[in-house]
Amino acid sequence: MKFFEARTGTIGIMAASALAITLSTAPAAADWQPERTVEFIAMYGPGGGHDIMMRTTSQMLAEEGITSANIQVRNLPGGSGARAMEYLHQQDGDGHYLSAATATFITTPMRGGTDVQPSDFTPIALLAQDPAVILVNVNSDMETIEDVIATASERMLNFGGTGVGGQGHLVALQLGSEAGVEFNYIPYDGDGDLSAALMGNQLDIISANFNTAFDFIQAGEFRAVAISAFEGMEDLGDVPTLLDAGYDVVVTLPRAVIGPPNMPDAARDYWINAFQSLTATDRWQEEYIDRYNVQRGDLFGDDFAAFIAENEVFYRETLTEAGLLD
């Protein structure tokens, strides 16, 4: 089985232990404090998973009294995350900049989309992981994942996702490989544009995050045909996982936070402590994890760095197998 996710057993226990140790022994937050406005960067456009996570965290960090910093969210879509990564890279050593990061944080450099590398940045936190929902337009003749595969065996389907080498792309590649079909994958720079393309019938099928998809499902505009996760979702009723449908595919999307290169240790510790404090609140569980149907991440600092290194290996193997890397 191929998947991109934090292992919920051993690593989850390790993360919990690390959390307890870090909270009790980390340098006091007074060692470093933001001195001016802090920028939280979203690598994709407004309304998508990056944007929601960064706006949610900025609001909660302030309202829970975790930081007194003035935080502004800045959307920098483009180049499957390259534009935002390059901008963050330019803020070398400055603790006043943080960015959301996801799978394309690894795959975009790997595919030559930017010269900056994941190892250039300061790992702060893996906050959550987001299952993918596979969707068709409600007016489509395809009503189940079996219908999708049957149609794909007869004609090429346009399969949309955000970014090249990201979650949607990997779902398309791995589902196609498992089912013995090929999809025409079309990347978009944000969930909003992706949803609009399915709405306008420019795409036959998309892979999107639950929090992006659910409003369209509730509005009767999109139909969910499968979920890329280990377990189904209560809010989606009897929509099967790809595993349940007989396809050995699980790809989840990391929701993480990184800092610029060479962030001072005191600034790094400040933000790690801040996100640890945030994720320990009931509000975080209720208003982010539960609300958006994501899985907890709870990896911070060095543990998150190890997670990145592990998954660089996964992505290189998967993209090479798909012919996207030499």
Residues 269, 27: contact at Cβ < 8 Å?
A: yes
Report the mean per-residue pLDDT for the chain: 88
**Span 226-245, mean pLDDT?**
92
In whole angstroms, give the CA distance from residue 16 to residue 26.
15
Q: What percent of the chain has pLDDT over 70?
A: 91
Fold of 10-129+253-321: D-Maltodextrin-Binding Protein; domain 2 (3.40.190)
Q: Quick one: pLDDT at residue 250?
A: 87
Q: Bigger pLDDT: 270 or 102? A: 270
Q: Above 90 in pLDDT, residue 13?
A: no
Equal CATH topology for 10-129+253-321 and 132-236: yes
pLDDT at 30: 54
pLDDT tens profile 80-120: 899 999 999 999 999 999 999 988 899 899 989 999 999 99
Mean pLDDT computed over 17-37: 58
Q: What is the pLDDT of residues 137-179, one digit of tens each?
A: 999 999 999 999 999 999 999 999 987 777 898 899 989 999 9
Three-state DSSP at 309 gives helix
pLDDT digits (tens, 9 = 90+) for 303-321: 999 999 988 998 888 788 7
CA nearest to 129, candidates 313, 258, 305, 299: 299
Q: 132-236 in CATH: which number?
A: 3.40.190.10
Per-residue exposure over 17-56, b if at least 16 CB sit within 10 Å of its own CB, e if not: ebbeebeeebeebeebebeeebbbbbbbbebbbbbbbbbb
Q: Quote the distance between the C-alpha of residue 149 and its chain's center.
A: 26
- Identify any residues that bridge with 136 across adjacent strands, giving them in sequence order: 223
Domain chopping of the chain, boundaries:
10-129+253-321, 132-236
